[in-house]
Structure 1
Amino acid sequence: MVFTMALASIVMHVWDVPAKDTLQLLWGSPFALKWEDIAALVAIALALVFYIAKNFRTISGIFFDQEIAQSLGMKVKLHHTTMVLVIALVIAFAMKLLGALLIDALLILPVLIASRHAQSLRQLFLRSCAVGVFVSFFGFIAAVATDLPPSGTIALLSALLYLLSTKIKKGKIS
């Protein structure tokens, strides 16, 4: 999905297809961000990092097995509800600002890429964040250098990195 949508975004830009404004929710653009939007996203991100750091053991237990976590006295429903609400808030906020294409490229693909090589939940968190930062930074640089839409360029880089990661299994190229 991300790969084809990224190509569609770039093709629409190169051939100057009309009706780009009507697709703002789908494509989005980091160039359209205001300082208030950035401040709100930073606040949500900091709250999320604080929540995960404070409750990492509980979250790990819930991800591993909810029934065991509950039998150990962990507040499974509270943390599950909190995580769902925070994720929904992040997606709703970011979709307005960045578009569905970037949400898919920056929330789903980095986790899929990192999960192929992570051996613990902590590694998965750290590696998926690193992949997200990598594709965001280099995709944005490539978009500016080539005068292409940032959302499509970032998503295309993310999709290509995912395809490459599927060919590399635990250090071996297949």
Structure 2
Amino acid sequence: MSDQLQTWIEFKSNPSSKALYTHDASVIFVPTSVGARGPEQIATFFRHDDFSERNVHVKEKMHNRVMSGEKLIEEADWTITLHKGECLWLAPTVAYETLLGSTVVIPVVRSAIFDDGLILSVRIYWDQASVLQQLNVLSTRKGIPIRGIEQVEALRNPQTVKLNAWGDNSASAAAVAPKVCTMCK
């Protein structure tokens, strides 16, 4: 097993370990711009109550991992249950009452860069509109193109997920040619 993969596995089980990071490392939850820089801040960040199992439970299902040299990309889905009415990394500024006891399911992409076997950066991406829709913060009224929990099916069942083929849900994506913008010519 490579040094990078071993470090990554340790990160996933104990992200507050300062020994995993370079001196200038950063961790950013991109949709909410929440994160930390440097081993001390990162360790403090991951010791916050938002990462405590008694407050926020994250169940992960891994789908893909690609490593090449000093880089890693992972696709997973997370089922996040909010036992406490706050989760600053997922939904900052959303009211306590809205979050308390809620569960959201989202596809997540993580990218990591390593330097000499240590983590230089971690970026975590998800669709924040889907999170806010599942928390009933964003309206689900007709016409708003937000996919909620259905997004996870693209990872869990890529061969059978119902595709939105340019507005025609009955056709397969391969059979429908995209419309060409006449103004772009």
Q: Note whether the superposition's TM-score is higher than 0.5.
A: no
- Comparing both chains, which one has the higher relative contact order based on Cα–Cα distances under 8 Å and sequence gaps of 6 or more? 1
Q: TM-score, structure 1 length as denominator?
A: 0.31
Q: TM-score, structure 2 length as denominator?
A: 0.30
- Larger C-alpha radius of gyration, 1 or 2? 2
Greater percentage in helix: 1
Greater percentage in strand: 2
